[in-house]
Amino acid sequence: MDLGEKQNPNPTVFAPRVASRKEKDLSLLDEDDEIGARDEIDAAEIFELIRHVNDPEHPLTLEQLQVATLDQIEVDDGSSAVDVRFTPTIPHCSMATLIGLCIRVKLLRSLPPRFKVRVSISPGTHASEHAVNKQLNDKERVAAALENAHLIGVVNKCIAQSDR
Amino acid sequence: MASVFLGDLDDFIAPSQACVNPLFAAPASDKPAAIAGNGADAMELVLEDEFETLAPQVLPPQQQEPDLIKTSASKTATVSLNDCLACSGCVTSAETVLISQQSSGRLLSALRDKSFAVSVASLSPQSRASIADYFGLSPAQAQARIATFLAQLGVTHTIDAACAGDLCLVAARDEFIARARSPLPPVWTAPAPSVAVSRTTQRDAATGAESFNAPQLRGPLPLLVSACPGFVCYVEKTAPEALAYVSAVKSPQAAAGALVKGAAARAWGVAPAAVLHLSVQPCFDRKLEASRLDFVDTVAAEATEAAEAAAAPTADVDIVLSTSELLEMAAQYFRSLAPAPPAPELAPGIPLPPPTPEGAALASADAAGGASGGYAEHVFRHAAKVLHGVDIPQGAPLQYRQGRNVDMRELVLEVGGEVVMRFALAYGFRNIQSILTQLRRRRCAYQYVEVMACPGGCVNGGGQVRPAQETPQAMRERTVRVGGIMQAVPSLAQPDDSPLVQWVLGPGGAMPLDSAASALHTTFHAVPKLEATNSLLARW
Amino acid sequence: MAKLSLLATLEGHEERAWFVAWSPDGKLLASCSSDKTVRIWGRKAGGGDSQWLCVAVIEEGASRTVRSCAWSPCGKFLAVVSFDGTTSIWEKVAKGVMLSFELLASLEGHENEVKSVAWSTDGAHVATCGRDKSVWIWEAMDDGDYECVTVLHGHTQDVKMVAWHPSEPMLFSASYDNTIKIWAEDGDDWYCAETLEGHTSSVWSIALEGGGERLASASDDCTVLIWKRFEDAQPSGGRWRRVCKLAGYHARTVYSVAWHARQPLLATGAGDDAIRIFRESEGSSARSDAPSFDLEVTVASAHAGDVNCVAWAVTAAAATAAAAAAAAPHVLLASAGDDCLVKVWQYDAS
């Protein structure tokens, strides 16, 4: 049953382990990019995009909570495939779909459209892993969610500060 | 063997999604609740102000306790049925909640603890017919066996809920006559969302202002029968624009509650809170109905020392069991070949209708007109006479015309070749949709609609004993059989003939019908839309 | 070598194109998009199949994504469903070379996103399905209005698509719960006659073969399954059984499958951006208990993004299969993609 109280009132907070990249690497969609030029993307750049996304419940970033880490990201630039896994702080976290949605929206808005992004829960870290993954990777459900003003408001807040 | 599994809950208006009700966090001083908890485990819904301090924080590079997290002791919250009622998340309720909060276990422990001076079971005619069908008994035999079984458990009296249904018919026909004489213009506007606080008080969901929980007697035509809790839930949550059309008359279960905890308790000289009222019903949504705060007194009238017990909040109906749940408790007893011991005395001091030779009570409510209370049938006959001077002899059956399907039937009164009255019986979700669409477009040709959520009506309720094979064929046959059993019960010609009706509604009666706040009327509410909390949004 | 060549790229939608539907006479193509519009495309005079014009746009009506649409069998009406929960019926009105569409009826009842709509072959019924796990059947009334015939609950998750049997009163629905359900008439109501289990993830699309004896289903499990109706019922009472699995072809979710009305051709659109054409193998047919299909064509980057829908054009002129085969060596296929584009393709058999 879904609880309105915080799922994990006392999460463990971790210090950043990866140094932030320089400013220029962040702007993957710079206007002065040559038309047709293909930006090569690697896992570090993906991590840079999502590390400062806020957790929906806490004023903490996904990086601080180690929900997102560099080693949970795989990129195959050749086939334009991005695979992001994340680890909810507790196995019953009902926020998992919302966190996943924030990651998905952030990447959707930042990456060139050629990329096929898969966002999923790190295997074995959530009780409803399969159901959450299915929902996160159903583009129709995601599209409908993004038309929900309340929801997109929350997502926008979570990713508002992520371009640091 | 009828056993209730969670998956069995089939009240035909299926919840469309998993429960999204954000349960209630530690009481803080945030916005007050839109949802009031139920009785002892009352708890308020606290809406978190999400992201109030989203400013970037510089965090020291060691583990730390984030300070935003509230650490006040939070009670573990449970969802009550009333929370389901107040939540627009899904149409009816979370199944687990329905089963766990009103269970045979609760009944048994209440009877064992003897926490009530008197215990009364009101048995719906549909449940009786379903059990009669299952064991091949006559309705009277079934009534007697059920009464005996419940008496062995400690239930003091078992009454026929159809007797209370007669009270509803009288209230329903009066309501229709009044409305037909001066209907308000058709509307399709939802009233302001509100929640019940108690029988007498409601709270505006937006402003928090409390006001009298007044039954709405005036309104446009058609009048929609509100006896079906599934339909009521659907309208309150999904189509509040139709609330203006909904009848203010209580359901037979609620009327039985008013009788048992009101007039009967007074006659017996006990406080309402000292009476345990068990209701046996063909449908699970009756559990939901029973927990409506509109049926609960939260403030005792005159709290004297002697009436300490009476000061406790008391609901009209304490426990609702479905037919199948009762069967599960009693199957072994019913199967035994031992002759039924004589049934206990009905309800001393209460002038229930004279029993039939076999012991079942006589009532008019369950006989004719679709076995869902007989609303359209009775109101049609009455209105034909009162409004149009057409006296339809009691022996003459009404001509039901089938509409676009078996669950859509019409009653038409023609005077001088002209249609002067058009009633409908609209059963099942599909026909509810048709009626709502007609209302939405102001194109409804009916003056009165007997609406029931279940195809086939209440005899086919989700809580009835199920056929071994649930094929459409078997379900249909069951509906016909159980309906036939109900029709076969000898009945009073008129609810007015019931001594109970005379006792209750007659001059100087126990529940006069002339006031808006009469014991036979209630209020419906537009359920406030769920606030968008994080937890709700997690279910996108 | 069979080939699929691009004839035209139809630009106009501003967001993801979800769905395309050919009018029954094959003259018009309707496309739906997240930009909340339906665009109607027609051939430019003298341009053959390669020059297309947007002849109408249905802009008002939907307040959210327009997910799908369906032409009535007579071609006069278009049913449009949206994430805003509505189904609207539009009537086609000719205005010179341009067309306009007038709102005839609005079907309300779904609690939230409506995802698919299908018109029965006799034009009497419209089926819709959606996020609320339900399937609705509506009946056209004499006055142009629609009434709800039934609301079918049974799926445990979103219902992605509905499709009617081409000649019998039988409705198929595909769901996020990995199953396909078959709904049949019983007196004046409908019930679930069969549930087809076999896919291991969401079923996105279903397509009946012209004769109605076989069904193709496309899924998030990257496969297409072929189901066949058998004379004898299984112990469970079911008559449809899986007879073929097309696996190993699609690298990502298969979003759409289309069965050509008269030729042994299956087209698929998938999340790997590709359109594929499968042809039933020599000697295999609807009578085979283990039919097989050969991949004939792969257009690898058919769209710059997921291919959400593929639809074969039906040419009304060729009334029989034989005539169609003789008269039309090539056939048209339309597709819709995440790249906002609608494309028209020509298929040529080897």
CATH number for position B160: 3.40.50.1780
Asked if residue B36 belongs to a domain, the reply is no
> Could you tell me which residues come within 8 angstroms of residue A125 by beta carbon, excluding any fewer than 6 positions away?
A87, A88, A91
Question: Contacts of residue A57 in chain B, CB cutoff 8 Å?
Answer: 50, 534
| Domain identity same for B179 and B324 | no
A27-66, pLDDT tens digit by residue? 455 444 455 556 788 999 999 999 999 998 888 999 999 9
Q: Which amino acid is at B105?
A: G
Instruction: State the smallest CA–CA distance between residue A30 and chain B in angstroms.
Output: 25
Whether B136 has its CB under 8 Å from any CB of chain C: the answer is: no
Cα–Cα dist C192/C177, whole Å:
15
- Specify if B218 maps to a domain: yes
- Contact residues on chain C for A141, CB-CB shorter than 8 A: 158
pLDDT at residue B345 in the model: 60
B152-161, B186-195, B510-519, C325-334: range with lowest mean pLDDT: B510-519
Interface contact flag, C306 A139, Cβ < 8 Å: yes
Range from B119-128, B439-448, B484-493, C289-298 carrying the lowest mean pLDDT = B484-493
- Which of C15, C65, C132, C303 to mutate: most A Cβ within 10 Å? C65
Answer yes or no: do B148 and B277 share one domain: yes
All residues of chain B having their beta carbon less than 8 Å from the beta carbon of residue A3 are: 22-23, 25, 77, 535
B303 and B232, same domain (yes or no): no
Q: B4 falls in which pLDDT band (50, 70, 90)?
A: very low
- From B298, B319, B350, give the residue that closes a domain: B350
Q: What percent of chain B is modeled with pLDDT above 70?
A: 69
Computed over every residue of chain C, the mean pLDDT equals: 93
Q: Is residue A6 part of a domain?
A: no
C residues 200-259 closer than 8 Å to A (CB): 201-202, 220, 252
Residue B437 in contact with partner chain C when CB distance is under 8 A:
yes
> For the residues B90-117, what does the mean pLDDT come to?
74
**Residue B41: Cβ within 10 Å count:** 12
d(C-alpha C69, C-alpha C78), whole Å: 7
Query: Across the interface, do B69 and A9 touch by the CB < 8 Å criterion?
Result: yes
Alpha-carbon distance A78 to A9, whole Å? 42
pLDDT of B341: 60
> Which pLDDT does position B347 carry in this prediction?
64
User: Which among B21, B45, B66 has the least Cβ separation from residue A13?
Assistant: B66
Q: Which domain holds residue B426?
A: 169-250+366-461+468-488
Regarding whether B472 and B390 lie in a shared domain, the answer is yes
Residues B142 and B180 in one domain: no
pLDDT confidence bin for B82, thresholds 50/70/90: low
**Which pLDDT score is estimated for B339?**
60
Which one of A113, A138, A147 has the shortest CB-CB distance to C176?
A: A138
More confident residue, A31 or B509: B509
CA distances from C199 to B190, C132, C225, C277 (A): 43, 21, 8, 21
Q: What is the pLDDT of residues C36-47, one digit of tens each?
A: 999 999 999 888
Please indicate whether, in this complex, the C-beta atoms of C108 and B434 are within 8 angstroms of each other. Answer: no
Q: For the segment C254-282, what is each residue's pLDDT rounded down to a tens digit?
A: 999 999 999 999 999 999 999 999 999 99
B61 assigned to some structural domain? no
Among the residue ranges B525-534, C72-81, C129-138, the one predicted with the least confidence is B525-534
Residues B309 and B452 in one domain: no
Q: In whole angstroms, give the CA distance from residue B394 to residue B369.
A: 13
Number of domains in chain A: 1
Q: Does A89 touch chain B (CB under 8 A)?
A: no
- Angstroms from B379 CA to nearest CA on chain C: 27
Instruction: Single out the residue of A69, A78, A16 nearest to residue A44, CA to CA.
Output: A69
Judging contacts by C-beta atoms under 8 Å, the chain B residues touching residue C139 are 404
Identify the domain containing residue C205 by its residue range: 3-348
With 70 as the cut, is the pLDDT of residue C59 above it? yes
Find chain C residues with C-beta within 8 A of B433's C-beta: 109, 148, 151
Chain B partners within 8 Å of A96 (Cβ): 538
pLDDT over 70 (residue B355): no
Examine residue A12 and state whether it is found in any structural domain, yes or no.
no
Mean pLDDT of B357-362: 55
B275-281 and B118-123: which strand pairing?
Answer: parallel
Range(s) of the domain holding residue A65: 40-159
pLDDT on residue B344 = 58
Q: How far is CA B134 from the centre of its chain?
A: 24
User: How far off is chain B from A92, nearest CA to CA, in Å?
Assistant: 12
Cα–Cα distance between C308 and C272 in angstroms, integer? Answer: 10
What percent of chain B is modeled with pLDDT above 90? 31
Do B292 and B429 belong together in one domain? no
What is the number of domains present in chain C? 1
Q: Does C189 touch chain B (CB under 8 A)?
A: yes
- Say yes or no to pLDDT of A160 above 70: yes
C-alpha–C-alpha distance, residues B82 and B318, integer Å: 13
Task: Give the model confidence (pLDDT) of B241-299 as tens digits.
Answer: 999 999 999 999 999 998 888 888 888 888 888 999 999 999 888 988 988 888 887 65
Q: H/E/C letters for each residue in chain C? A: CCEEEEEEEECCCCCCEEEEEECCCCCEEEEEECCCCEEEEEECCCCCCCCEEEEEEECCCCCCCEEEEEECCCCCEEEEEECCCCEEEEEEEEECCEEEEEEEEEECCCCCCEEEEEECCCCCEEEEEECCCEEEEEEECCCCCEEEEEEEECCCCCEEEEEECCCCCEEEEEECCCEEEEEEEECCEEEEEEEEECCCCCEEEEEECCCCCEEEEEECCCCEEEEEECCCCCCCCCCEEEEEEECCCCCCCEEEEEECCCCCEEEEEECCCCEEEEEECCCCCCCCCCCCEEEEEEECCCCCCCEEEEEECCCCCCCCHHHHHHHCCEEEEEEEECCCCEEEEEEECC
DSSP string, B165-186: HHHHHHHHHHHHHHHHHSPPPP
Lowest mean pLDDT among B289-293, B341-345, C40-44, C220-224: B341-345
Q: Show the tokens assigned to B105.
A: 């276990």
For residue B59, what pLDDT band results from cuts at 50, 70 and 90?
very low
Task: Read off the CATH number of the domain in which A54 is found.
Answer: 3.30.300.130
Residue B312: the pLDDT is: 56
**Long-range Cβ contact pairs of B504-511 (< 8 A, separation 24 or more):** B504/B167, B504/B259, B504/B263, B505/B167, B505/B170, B510/B262, B510/B263, B510/B266, B510/B267, B511/B167, B511/B258, B511/B259, B511/B262, B511/B263
Who among C65, C112, C305 is closest to A143 (CB)? C65
- Asked if the structure places residue A9 within a domain, the reply is no
Average the pLDDT over each of B75-79, B106-110, C63-67, C188-192 and give the range with the smallest value: B75-79
CA distance A13 to chain C (A): 36
Q: Helix, strand or coil for residue B257? A: helix
Q: In what order do the strands lie in the sheet with B201-204?
A: B194-196, B201-204, B210-212
Note whether residue B376 is domain-resident: yes
Most confident of B61-70, B291-300, B303-312, C152-161: C152-161
Residues B299 and B152 reside in one and the same domain: yes
pLDDT tens profile B182-237? 999 999 999 999 988 888 889 998 888 998 888 888 999 999 999 999 999 889 98
Q: Is residue B215 part of a domain?
A: yes
Q: B31 or B425: whose pLDDT is higher?
A: B425
Does some domain include residue A64? Answer: yes
Question: Residues B199, B255: one domain?
Answer: no
Nearest to B538 among A12, A54, A94 (CB): A94
Q: How many domains does chain B have?
A: 2
Most C CBs within 10 A among A140, A141, A142, A146, hence the mutation to make, goes to A140
CB < 8 Å to A164, chain B: 56
Task: Please state the φ and ψ torsions of residue C106, each to the nearest 5 degrees.
Answer: -125, 125
C158 in reach of chain B (CB within 8 A): no
Percent of chain A surpassing pLDDT 90: 57
**Where is pLDDT greater, at B112 or B299?**
B112
Confidence (pLDDT) at B361? 58
pTM: 0.82
H/E element, B139: helix B139-153
Task: For residue A72, tell me if it sits in a domain.
Answer: yes
Q: Please indicate, yes or no, if residue B262 is contained in any of the structural domains.
A: yes
C-alpha to C-alpha distance for C106 and C89, rounded to whole angstroms: 6
For residue C334, the model assigns a pLDDT of 98
Rounded CA-CA distance A132/C151 in Å is 28
Using the beta-carbon criterion (under 8 Å), do A116 and C83 form an inter-chain contact?
Answer: no
B518 vs C306, residue with greater confidence: C306
Tell me which residue in B17, B406, B430 faces C150 most closely, judged by beta carbons: B430
pLDDT at residue B43 in the model: 30
pLDDT at C47: 86
Using alpha carbons only, give the angle A77, A81, A83 rounded to the nearest 5 degrees: 120
B481 part of a folded domain: yes
Q: Which among A64, A96, A150 is the nearest to B59, CB-wise? A: A64
Tell me how far the alpha carbon of residue B193 is from its chain's centroid: 20
Residues B154 and B175 in one domain: no
Residue B366 in this model has a pLDDT that exceeds 60: no
- The answer, for A26 touching chain B at a CB cutoff of 8 Å, is no
Nearest-Cα residue of chain C relative to residue B405:
C188
Average pLDDT, chain A: 83
Number of B to C CB contacts under 8 A, please give it.
Answer: 44
Our CA angle for B306, B310, B316, nearest 5°, is 160
B239 shares a domain with B106? no
Q: What CATH number does residue C307 fall under?
A: 2.130.10.10
Query: What ipTM does this complex have?
Result: 0.92
HSE (side-chain half, CA atoms, 13 Å) at B436: 26
H helix or E strand, kind and range, residue A86: strand A81-86
The answer to whether C191 faces chain B, any CB pair under 8 Å, is yes
Overall average pLDDT of the B34-60 stretch = 32
Query: Is residue C95 pLDDT above 60, yes or no?
Result: yes
**pLDDT tens digits, residue range A64-120?**
999 999 999 999 998 899 999 999 988 888 789 999 999 999 999 999 988 999 999
Residues B269 and B215 grouped into a single domain: no
Distance of alpha carbon A147 from alpha carbon C133, whole angstroms:
19
What CA–CA distances, in Å, run from C307 to B418, C17, C303? 60, 9, 6
